[in-house]
Amino acid sequence: MRLGAVVLTMGNRPDELRALIDSVAKQDGDPVEVVVVGNGAPLPELPEGVRTVELPENLGIPGGRNVGIEAFGPGGTDVDALLFLDDDGLLPQTDTAELCRRAFEADPRLGLLSFRIADPETGVTQRRHVPRLRASDPARSSPVTTFLGGASAARTKVLAEVGGLPEEFFYAHEETDLAWRALDAGWAVEYRADMVLHHPTTEPSRHAVYHRMVARNRVWLARRNLPAPLVPVYPGVWLLLTLARRPSRPALRAWLGGFKEGWTSPCGPRRPMRWRTVWRLTRLGRPPVI
């Protein structure tokens, strides 16, 4: 099985980027071809054999990753699967690529893999990095309904069949949109605790646009993917949860602005999932109203 890797960079972290590329080069088995996408950011000099794409402007996380996918042919189909990695991550183990190959080869309907993200100093996995409701045990692998964009792998047949990441989202929840489409097409998504990516502990709310994007894209997820009766329920539940968490006044103002924007702005094509997919998501522990 041929593997490629799409590395996305939007900042100026040349040392971290080179360390990540070096960790990919050290993977066991056949070499992993690497494409680095400079998403509105200049790229440093990189090792020979690494392909680069420098974008003149920041297209957002899904837009940048889609450019990297297309660098491997339409839908990425020049390879069998793609690793998605961010420039400040690192693969501490040399068998991660081989584990991906074995997982995809063992299950022909496995479409997406989500790695376990661990802090390099403490080894701790943040609860938000476990893509399921029961997140207290990050060392437990399981089927899931979404994945972590910068620490994941995708079978390129999935991307060719259901399309890439929704570029309209720019940032936040683009992975869930892709995962829902893949699940609706009959593919499986798994969280694998044995596939580890080191990444320093951070909080997404450090980004100024976080609260707005999260709220807007929750609404867009529903409008794009859910059967009509569930469209108001999913963002409605998240509105109540957000109010219950009592965010700061500026955060709440940004969140409510994004919530309104989600209902009033174009969100891209609508392809509602089948009711049996709703039931499948429910059986996997994440009904699409939570």
**Residue 161 phi/psi, 5° resolution?**
-80, -45
CATH architecture of 3-202: Alpha-Beta Complex (3.90)
Strands (DSSP E) found in the chain: 3-9, 33-39, 51-55, 81-86, 110-118, 142-143, 151-155, 188-198
Q: Are strands 151-155 and 81-86 parallel, antiparallel or unpaired?
A: antiparallel
Report the distance separating Cα 108 and Cα 255, nearest Å: 40
Residue 134 burial by Cβ neighbours in a 10 Å radius (0-12, 13-18, 19+)? exposed
Work out the percent of the chain whose per-residue pLDDT is above 70. 98
At residue 204 the predicted structure's pLDDT band, cuts being 50, 70 and 90, is: low
Report the distance separating Cα 130 and Cα 249, nearest Å: 28
At residue 12 the predicted structure's pLDDT band, cuts being 50, 70 and 90, is: confident
Tell me if residue 68 falls in helix, strand or coil.
helix
DSSP state of 172: S
Task: Please determine, for residue 136, whether its predicted confidence score (pLDDT) is greater than 70.
Answer: yes
What is the average per-residue pLDDT within 73-85? 96
pTM assigned to the model: 0.96
Tell me if 148 sits within 8 A of 115, measured CB to CB: yes
Tell me if 196 sits within 8 A of 96, measured CB to CB: yes
Domain ranges (residues) in the chain: 3-202, 207-272
8: tokens are 């996305």
Which of 8-12, 164-168, 285-289 shows the lowest per-residue confidence on average (mean pLDDT)?
Answer: 8-12
Tell me if 75 sits within 8 A of 164, measured CB to CB: yes
Report the distance separating Cα 176 and Cα 147, nearest Å: 7
pLDDT single digits (tens) 103-132: 999 999 999 999 999 999 999 999 999 999
Task: Please determine, for residue 96, whether its predicted confidence score (pLDDT) is greater than 80.
Answer: yes
Max CA distance (Å), the chain: 53
pLDDT single digits (tens) 206-250: 555 899 999 999 999 999 999 999 999 999 999 999 999 999 999
Report the distance separating Cα 263 and Cα 239, nearest Å: 13
Report the distance separating Cα 175 and Cα 186, nearest Å: 17
